[in-house]
Amino acid sequence: MIYDKIDNLDTYAGLSDNIRLSLKWLYDVKPDVEKGVYEINPHVKAVVSEYTTKVINDNGYEAHRNYIDIQYLISGEEVVCCLPLEYLNEIKAYNKDIDAAFLVEAGIKPQELLLGNRYFTILYPQDGHMPQLCVNRPEVVKKVVVKVRIGE
């Protein structure tokens, strides 16, 4: 897991060309970008969505095998809880069609990341994460999740 301000994107340029390209896309994205899916290259896509954050995310934590998530809020704020997979219990088995397994906490307090105000997070397959949580009260947010295919 990486958590930082998008202004520091050059720090992560050496991780991979696709991550560098993804962070640059996020740095340049305009607030009025339309909801939808944007192909950045054949191995990277950005998904722009709007939704209302929640007090409780009924889906629990999610984890991916084939994609790295880079999560960034264009407007609003949300909390993303994170735990290594070893501290989570699976409640819905991995589904390759959606590249996700769903999990719940196993008694360990999670790391809470505050997204918004130009902060982003990079979440790897070993990082269970529960997004869409409200900071103080539910609010409408606009978010980009960039999906970076692993191994490309």
pLDDT (mean) for 51-65: 96
Does 57 have pLDDT greater than 70? yes
Looking at residue 111, what DSSP letter applies? E
Does 55 have pLDDT greater than 80? yes
pLDDT (mean) for 104-124: 96
Domain count, the chain: 1
CATH number of 122's domain: 2.60.120.370
Residue 101, C-beta contacts closer than 8 angstroms, at least 6 positions apart: 62, 63, 65, 90, 92, 93, 94, 95
Sheet of 44-52: strands edge to edge? 2-5, 119-123, 67-75, 140-149, 44-52, 36-41
pLDDT (mean) for 102-128: 96
Compute CA 26 distance to the chain's CA centroid, rounded to the nearest angstrom: 12
Q: Give the range of the structural domain holding residue 137, as residue numbers without chain letter.
A: 2-149
Q: Provide the pLDDT confidence category of residue 152 given band limits of 50, 70 and 90.
A: low
pLDDT of residue 13: 87
pLDDT per residue over 4-38, tens digit each?
999 999 999 899 999 999 999 999 999 999 999 99
pLDDT (mean) for 123-127: 97
Q: Which residue carries 């960034």 as its tokens?
A: 72
Residue 80, C-beta contacts closer than 8 angstroms, at least 6 positions apart: 71, 112, 113, 115, 121, 129, 130, 131, 133
Tell me the pTM. Answer: 0.95
Residue among 20, 21, 67 at smallest CA distance from 41? 21
